[in-house]
Chain A
């Protein structure tokens, strides 16, 4: 039996069948394994023995490993899934589990460990960090092997008692779809030794036969005990082969701990493991078939290392071996696999073989046959660098060996590349196509998907191959026989035809018909179509989809066109199979969905037209430059290349040595993704600033200025007199950044001013971008020339006052309508020129700092947020470290200034040291004073020169700085809670902003302890049965922690106040900000309205807990009114709650009742809290409390 699945599902299917307990925690790219296990158990699917596996989500991978350890100690068959940092968090338990010889399997989608940067992509740096744990390690190099080796690992761990780490390459294998021959129950029963299962149970901890494990041992016996397990490890290779042989007998798929392919008289041999073996095998097989003396050793069992098997596998003729490691161990003699091979060959009497070590494929860097050929060619030369790299151009330390540029080799007869938008369903359609062909024909399918790093307007590239033989091409399609561009505008930005082979078919979704389209193509596209003699077809898929009620989802229109043009199946058969697939996919969602899809399919082929390609290029303009010509040098040289998809070509010298990048780069990336943009109507506007404060992308700007300012502008901006109680004689302009707006519509939703003559219109209205973009571009350029308001023009602690300040967080790639980003933007408007940000891994670290650009930026003076991300789990501690460094510098600067006061001026020193630094004006004054001080320090010579230099280096820290620790609920409530709690207890001047989306948003909406009762989320597929953790109330228990619970959409005034108070509070502050998210299942245009309902229902009460020194201080202030609508009214509008009603109405009702009870009870508590008197204990900061 076959299935078209990816590597994650291939492994998870076996793991779920062979486990009783599954401990999970989300981490890319392993999350789908946990999600599938959870979904299967929720549906009641059983394991091999008829029991539904217990699936438990833990607070971190460390927690998952702990639960795993406990489960196996108690005799369960248990497993978990993880990657990268998650695996690192499991290491302590892995040593324990292995030391206790406890059978278990950890399935790992191997991923890069964060170093100079986080990377979600694949390499072996994580699993290599686990090689000393005592876990056996089995490496799968394909989707089929991920399935087979999962079974082998579970079988062998039970027979050997040695725990297994089964790994396969993140993304390249975990997310590649292929045809997998499934192991059925009889196969699994045959492989799993029931006696071993019973033996494992017999060793469980039970008071009926009590034993003691986990002892502490002393120098006298620890060592011997450590060696006592050796026989078990010695037996593993044999047992692995035994199980692999049993598998082969049942399936015909033969594996060995070490496999060799290639010439039997090979002189040059490659050794590697993982998905790279696919490309290597293709190249070696090709060259060997031509008589080249080359071979490939695939390592499958990595620990215990099969030294003798390796020596035996290597042909006697081998003279030089290149060992390729997909990891980097800086400072080592060589990477781990290289060292293992060297040692093994020496031990096996093959010390004569010259072994070279090389690195390849870090962070899923492409590894192609041309690179394999390059490595093999380098084995012929004497000057090959040691160690070498392949796949990059190292122009710094010159380690790289070049690929063979003329060598191409690629599996699959049909090779197709599809360019789409995340929102248009292209990837979904390609997955469907893969299944249709893989399940309905004899052809072998392969599908792999590449996404850019944006969460809104993201570009997807789908790489599909089909052929009569199994496809082992573990790299992107290089010579496509079919290229489809599903979005016409891509032609101006990226070279979609670079991968097209000569004579390929090019399908373009075009608003222009076959007679007109040619004249709308950029010059480069016309040139390529002619040069490569492409067969060119167009379809207006958007029109077809719109008419069929499919909206922007053009996938159903484009898919039949692919079938019609690629010729995989006869056209009628293809249409029938597509419809059948639609029926199977969507019938569960309802008949209308099926009908609409069918209508789109029927209409598609009628709208498909071939274009008669002219013989000459007629276009006068080419593709747009990736960044404007006035962008800074680094942006031109590096950022721009990455933006145009040429990042792979950047040499080592182009990149920073330590991961440090300039900020302020998002402004150069003009994405133009909005179909509609907001246009301001000054006649209706009431100057409230709500549109600006709610805008998630800083694409709505507000400036207040003297009317005379307009005289200096090159172009007109819309303007009106500014209404204010604070100032008079000023004008205001609200302006959209037309190329940066995502078109989310939040600004329109929050606008309270209605046009009295036409109530559908407000003071800001969405209009077609196509007709307004040019004019707004001119206006925006002029708007930028209006000077920023003086910091004291308006009180900053108000909505208007905050919104006339320059945002230093702009144009992020967050989801359109994101509920998190308005808070970050506000943070920068209030304190942006003096904050250091510690950012937990998650959505905010991705839209904040995923290359190529960052939204964090600077003001005209060059000041702005300094930002860094350490890890997911340690963010609070990371921020505390920053605070401690600042305080240390402040203390030293204060001491030095006292010492140097006679030299720099007593008055200046005293003024600086005693300066109040509460308001922006006072802080700006302090900056001027410090600049003055630095001027004086430059003139200090003699014995004090050293002290002066030290003070100069940290004098900036005499200006007040704020540390903000930012992260999501997954961090704050779960994985980072221990650190967060410690920081709250520290008493230090730190500010914590929790962007609470109530799920792990970045990894796709898994439940956290912030997830409310009754909500459906991944890992809580049946609706979360337990209530949300009240993090705010926990924090208030310390007494000296400022706590605020805010929802900008419900009360922007309270939010601004809370931010200001938190920053002013000299101790720890915790602001928990309700952040709407696409994982709530809402229309994100109404994001802020949902926040309003959340507060009205009492679901999200607004409060501030402001500690006070007064004996009768009442620190807790409720800022929202008692609930005025029931929970159900709020919940009915959010799919996360409402969808349970569609699945399990009875449970939905029960949980909704409990959720209402949660609200009622919490409100009762909070109501009582408002009367509680509490005083902060301690005197050292009393002067600050006022």
Chain B
């Protein structure tokens, strides 16, 4: 019998197959289906800083609209006393999720600034979260903003969450840093217990009918694994933190590659949205089959065995490999 268990953020999971944040993890019924399919842990959809701020500002704006402006109407809406503008409903989801499933529940906080909203990390902890995924995403649109100051914002946020909660938390980020490896190290030094590589986010698109800019998100495919694969391989054994591969995990092959590169867990979202929760069951069966076929007794044995420090040719993960690829690509076409 192959041992599928892995360690992630200090937790022992039954397998490396984790459901990443997506609509598939947005309600308790979905979580139950995932658990039934063998999912080892679930990451809930993000509680967005902007969302909390938006609702609070909206309620405030509504109640203040026209308030105390006219003799006959000192307001235009009844004051309903209790408003769910903060994390109340999200916390409720966390609590219900914890009651509904026995696998670890990892809520996700998504934000860019330090301050009031990181208090919600504590609320998540109090609601029973097993760990937290801190999703950081800054578009440095201001050309006057230096990369150093952007990085500092990331680190400040990590420090603040680290000071706020006792449970482990992973940082989910994008790859767009001048020196990603250094940044990863700094995030871990700032308190992150793990890194989730990488987040996918809405990218703008232009509607040709209205000429308006619309947010757009496409589901990933296996090709998207290449980037996390490289960085997981490069970071494995070089930083002391859990590593999760979270883009382009669709098939057992993707899972295996990520694990070989050094991922502690592999996270699926697009695959679950396409194929449903039972997809996990199929991948797990295939994973066991491959491990057995190839003589592995456990996933742990496999993990990181092809990371940069363990691979036969580490330079394949670096720039030299890029040049080689480019040449071969060119020669193929000419």
CB distance from A228 to the nearest CB of B (A): 43
Which of the candidate stretches B68-76, B276-284, B288-296 sits at the interface with the other chain? B68-76
Indicate if A425 sits at the interface (CB-CB under 8 A): yes
A335 within 8 A of B: no
Chain A nearest CB from B192 CB (Å) reads 24
B89 at the interface (CB under 8 A from A): yes
Please measure, in the bound complex, the distance between the C-alpha atom of A1135 and the C-alpha atom of B78, giving whole angstroms: 12
Tell whether A1078 pairs with B65 under 8 Å between CB atoms, given A589-B56, A595-B115. Answer: yes
- Tell me which residues across on chain B come within 8 A of A449, comparing CB atoms: 68
The bracket for how many chain A residues form the interface is 35 or more
> Cβ of A742 < 8 Å from any Cβ of B?
no
Contacts of A120 in B (CB 8 A): 71-72
Task: Assess A422 versus B69: contact at CB under 8 Å? Given A590-B52, A591-B86, A1081-B62.
Answer: yes
Inter-chain contacts of A591 with B (CB < 8 A): 52, 56, 86, 116-117, 119
Contact A590 B55 (CB under 8 A): yes
Residues of chain B with a CB closer than 8 A to A43's CB: 81
Also in contact, A1142 and B83, with CB within 8 A (given A1003-B73, A1018-B77): yes
| B73 interface neighbour in A553, A588, A1002, A1016, Cβ under 8 Å | A1002
Please determine whether A589 and B116 come into contact, CB atoms closer than 8 angstroms: no
State whether A1004 touches B75 (Cβ < 8 A): yes
Q: Is the CB of A846 within 8 A of B84?
A: no
Which residues of A have CB within 8 Å of B332?
none
Q: Known contacts A458-B69, A1078-B65; is A590 also within 8 Å of B59 by CB? A: yes
Q: Find chain B residues with CB under 8 A from A595 CB.
A: 115-116
Partner of A1143, one of B58, B60, B75, B82: B82
* A427 close to chain B: CB less than 8 A: yes
Nearest A residue to B84, CB-CB:
A1142
Judging by beta carbons under 8 Å apart, are B78 and A589 in contact?
no
Give bound CA distance, A1104 to B82, whole Å: 43
Among A31-39, A491-499, A501-509, A890-898, the stretch in contact with B = A31-39
Chain B residue numbers with a CB within 8 Å of A1138 are: 58
Question: A28 interface residue, CB < 8 Å from B?
Answer: yes
Per the bound structure, the CA–CA distance linking A1001 and B66 in Å amounts to 11
| Chain A CB within 8 A of B320 CB | no
Tell me which residues across on chain A come within 8 A of B59, comparing CB atoms: 589-590, 1139, 1142
Q: In the complex the two chains form, is B78's CB within 8 Å of A38's CB? A: yes
Cβ distance B91 to chain A, nearest Cβ, rounded Å: 14
The answer, yes or no, to whether A939 is at the interface (CB within 8 Å) is no
Q: Are B211 and A759 in contact, with the CB atoms below 8 A?
A: yes
**C-alpha gap A1004/B57 in the complex (Å):** 21
Once the chains bind, are A451 and B77 in contact (CB under 8 Å)?
Answer: no
A1078 touches B81 (CB 8 A): no
Contacts of B84 in A (CB 8 A): 1142-1143, 1145
Find the A residue at minimum CB distance from B74. A1004
> What residues of chain A lie closer than 8 Å to B62, measured between beta carbons?
1081, 1135, 1139
Q: Within 8 Å of chain A (Cβ to Cβ): is B142?
A: no
Within 8 A of B (CB), among A1115-1139: 1135-1136, 1138-1139
Residues A592 and B116 in contact in the complex (CB < 8 Å), given A35-B78, A1017-B78, A1139-B62: yes
A28 to B71, CA, bound (A): 9
Contact with B along A560-593 (1 / 0, CB 8 A): 0000000000000000000000000010111111
Residue A1005 at the chain B interface, CB threshold 8 Å: yes
State A427–B59 Cα separation when bound (angstroms): 19
Q: Which of B66-104 contact A (CB under 8 A)?
A: 66-86, 89
Using Cβ atoms and an 8 Å threshold, which residues of chain B touch A815?
Answer: 66
B114 to chain A, nearest CB (A): 12
A1016 partner residues in chain B, CB cutoff 8 A: 77-78, 80
Most A Cβ at <10 Å: residue of B55, B68, B69, B75: B69
Distance of A454 Cα from B116 Cα, bound (Å): 38
In angstroms, Cα B56 to Cα A731, docked, is 49
**Contact between chains at A592 and B66 (CB < 8 Å):** no
User: Whole-angstrom distance between the alpha carbons of A737 and B84 in the complex?
Assistant: 43
- Name A1072-1101 residues within 8 Å CB distance of B: 1078-1079, 1081
In the complex, A431 has a CB within 8 A of chain B: yes
The reply on A423 being an interface residue by CB < 8 A is yes
In the complex, are the beta carbons of A1002 and B78 less than 8 A apart? no
Asked whether any CB of chain A lies closer than 8 Å to the CB of B53, the reply is yes
Contact (Cβ within 8 A) A592 B57: yes
Q: A1143 near B83 (CB under 8 angstroms)?
A: yes
Task: Select A1142's contact among B67, B85, B211, beta carbons within 8 Å.
Answer: B85
Q: Nearest chain-B residue to A449 (Cβ)?
A: B68
Does the CB pair B56–A593 fall under 8 Å?
yes
Residue of B nearest to A43 (CB): B81
Which residues from 590 to 610 on chain A have a C-beta closer than 8 Å to any C-beta of chain B?
590-595
**Which single residue of chain B is at the shortest CB-CB distance from A422?**
B69
- B69, closest chain A residue (CB): A422
Q: How far is the CB of B214 from chain A (nearest CB, A)?
A: 13
Q: A800 → chain B, closest Cβ, in Å?
A: 25
> From residue B263, how far is it (CB to closest CB) to chain A in Å?
36
Contacts of A1003 in B (CB 8 A): 72-73
Find out whether the CB atom of A453 lies under 8 angstroms from the CB atom of B71. Answer: yes
Q: Complex formed: what's the CA distance from A1017 to B75 in Å?
A: 11
A846 to B72, Cβ gap below 8 A? yes
B68→A1002 contact, CB < 8 A:
no
B74 surroundings in chain A (CB, below 8 A)? 32, 427, 1004
Question: In whole angstroms, how far apart are the Cα atoms of A426 and B67 in the complex?
Answer: 10
**A196 interface residue (CB < 8 Å to B):** no
Expressed in whole angstroms, the minimum distance between the Cβ of A1090 and any Cβ of chain B is 14
- Let me know if B64 and A425 touch, CB within 8 A: yes
Asked whether A1078 and B76 contact (CB < 8 A) given A592-B56, A759-B211, A1142-B84, the answer is yes
Beta-carbon contacts under 8 Å, A425-476 to B: 425-428, 431, 449, 451, 453-455, 458, 460
* Distance from A316 Cβ to chain B, minimum over Cβ atoms (Å): 45
Q: Any chain A CB within 8 A of the CB of B63?
A: yes
In the complex, A1088 Cα to B298 Cα: how many Å? 64
Shortest CB-to-CB span from B119 to chain A, Å, is 7
CA distance A431 to B74 in the complex (A): 12
Least CB distance from A56 to B in Å reads: 16
> In the complex, which residue of chain B has the Cβ closest to the Cβ of A815?
B66
A754 touches B211 (CB 8 A): yes
- The answer for the CA separation of A950 and B267 in the assembled complex, in Å, is 94
A1021 interface hit (Cβ, 8 Å): yes
**Are the C-beta atoms of B63 and A589 separated by less than 8 Å?**
yes
Contact A590 B60 (CB under 8 A): yes
Give residues of chain A (745-770) contacting chain B, Cβ–Cβ below 8 Å: 754, 759
Instruction: Enumerate A1003-1019 residues with CB–CB distance to B below 8 Å.
Output: 1003-1005, 1016-1018
Closest to B119 in A: A591
> Which partner residue on chain A sits nearest B83 by CB separation?
A1142
Listed residue (A425, A449, A1001, A1143) with the most chain B CB atoms within 10 angstroms of its CB: A1143
* Closest-CB distance, B153 to chain A (whole angstroms): 18
Cβ B69 vs Cβ A460 within 8 A: yes
* CB-defined contacts of B73 to chain A, threshold 8 Å: 1001-1005
For the complex, what is the distance from the CA of A1003 to the CA of B77, rounded to whole Å? 11
Pairwise interchain contact B69-A451, C-beta atoms closer than 8 A? yes
- Of A29, A422, A590, A1005, the residue contacting B77 (CB under 8 A) is A1005
A38, A426, A1005: the one contacting B76 at CB < 8 Å is A1005
Contact call B65/A1081, Cβ cutoff below 8 A: yes
Contacts of B83 in A (CB 8 A): 588-590, 1139, 1142-1143
Complex CA gap A428/B86 in Å reads 24
Which residue of chain A has the shortest Cβ distance to B72 in the bound complex?
A28
Cβ-closest 9 pairs across A and B: A590-B56, A422-B69, A1004-B73, A427-B68, A590-B85, A1021-B78, A1005-B76, A1135-B62, A1079-B76
> What are 15 A-B contacts defined by CB distance under 8 Å?
A35-B78, A38-B78, A39-B81, A425-B67, A453-B71, A553-B64, A588-B81, A589-B56, A591-B52, A593-B57, A593-B60, A1018-B77, A1078-B76, A1079-B66, A1143-B84
Given A590-B52, A592-B117, 17 other A-B residues pairs in contact with their CB atoms under 8 A = A31-B72, A42-B80, A431-B68, A460-B68, A553-B64, A589-B59, A589-B63, A591-B119, A592-B52, A592-B53, A1005-B73, A1018-B78, A1021-B80, A1136-B77, A1139-B83, A1142-B59, A1143-B83
